[in-house]
Amino acid sequence: MNTAVASSAVLPTATDAAPALPGGYRFCPRCATALSRGVPLGADDPRERTLCGNCGWVHWDNPLPVVAALVQLGDKILLARNAAWTPGKFALIAGFMERGETPEAGIAREVMEETGLTVVEHNMIGVYPFLLRNELLLVYHVRAEGDVHLSPELAEYKLVDPADLVPWPQGTGPAVGDWMRSQGLVVPDAVPLP
């Protein structure tokens, strides 16, 4: 695909630079010119993108693939609280996929890294858009074994009876509800995370 900028584009100045992109970009990572907004030449749709008017680099801002696990340990479900979150806020184990990694290998790695548990079985619950964070969530139900040893990224965990789960409305919450329905469990109304 030709990623050159449409001929009507004007070279941006530092004051025209787009707001910082994820990762803090304000300038082209290829040529250091201030970035601006525009429609890339030859694009299949008219959406504006962050781009470089000098060399044609385009930030397509595609959703990032994230793997998440509803971890079953024995007959309980493990929910964890990220160290950066407020007390009382628990969710599924999740993380970004690595280059060259299958989703199944990614979720086994994330569960091991974050909890010290070994995944012995995995089944896809579904794929969910998380528009707020521009992510595509690939959510699995996994059975795991071992002793829980949390990474420094996590502050605490709790083990919950599957029938006592309460889905939350965004992120991985809809997957929790879908899994509960697949198990014949009553799904309470989603409750926002604290």
Token pair of 185 as six digits: 């469990």
Asked whether the predicted pLDDT for residue 108 surpasses 60, the reply is yes
Q: Which has the higher per-residue pLDDT, 21 or 120?
A: 120
Q: Which residue is listed with tokens 């044609």? A: 56
Chain mean pLDDT for the chain:
87
Q: What is the pLDDT of residues 121-168, one digit of tens each?
A: 999 999 999 988 889 999 999 999 999 999 999 999 999 999 999 999
Strands 64-73 and 93-96: antiparallel
Q: What is the pLDDT of residues 28-62, one digit of tens each?
A: 999 999 998 888 888 788 888 888 999 999 888 88
Is the Cα torsion angle 160, 165, 166, 171 positive or negative in sign? positive
Contact 2, 41 (CB under 8 A): yes
Closest C-alpha to 92, from 171, 155, 37, 35: 171
- Say what the pTM is: 0.80
Residue 193's pLDDT band, with cuts at 50, 70 and 90, is: low
Three-state SS sequence of the chain? CCCCECCCCCCCCHHHCCCCCCCCCCECCCCCCEEEEECECCCCCCCCEEEECCCCCEECCCCEEEEEEEEEECCEEEEEEECCCCCCCCECEEEECCCCCCHHHHHHHHHHHHHCCEEEEEEEEEEEEEHHHCEEEEEEEEEEECCCCCCCCEEEEEEECHHHCCCCCCCCHHHHHHHHHHCCCCCCCCCCCC
Q: What is the pLDDT of residues 6-37, one digit of tens each?
A: 333 333 344 444 456 544 678 999 999 999 88
Q: Which residue is listed with tokens 């695909």? A: 1
Q: What is the pLDDT of residues 65-81, one digit of tens each?
A: 999 999 999 999 999 99
**Domains identified in the chain and CATH numbers:** 1-61 (no CATH), 64-182 (3.90.79.10)
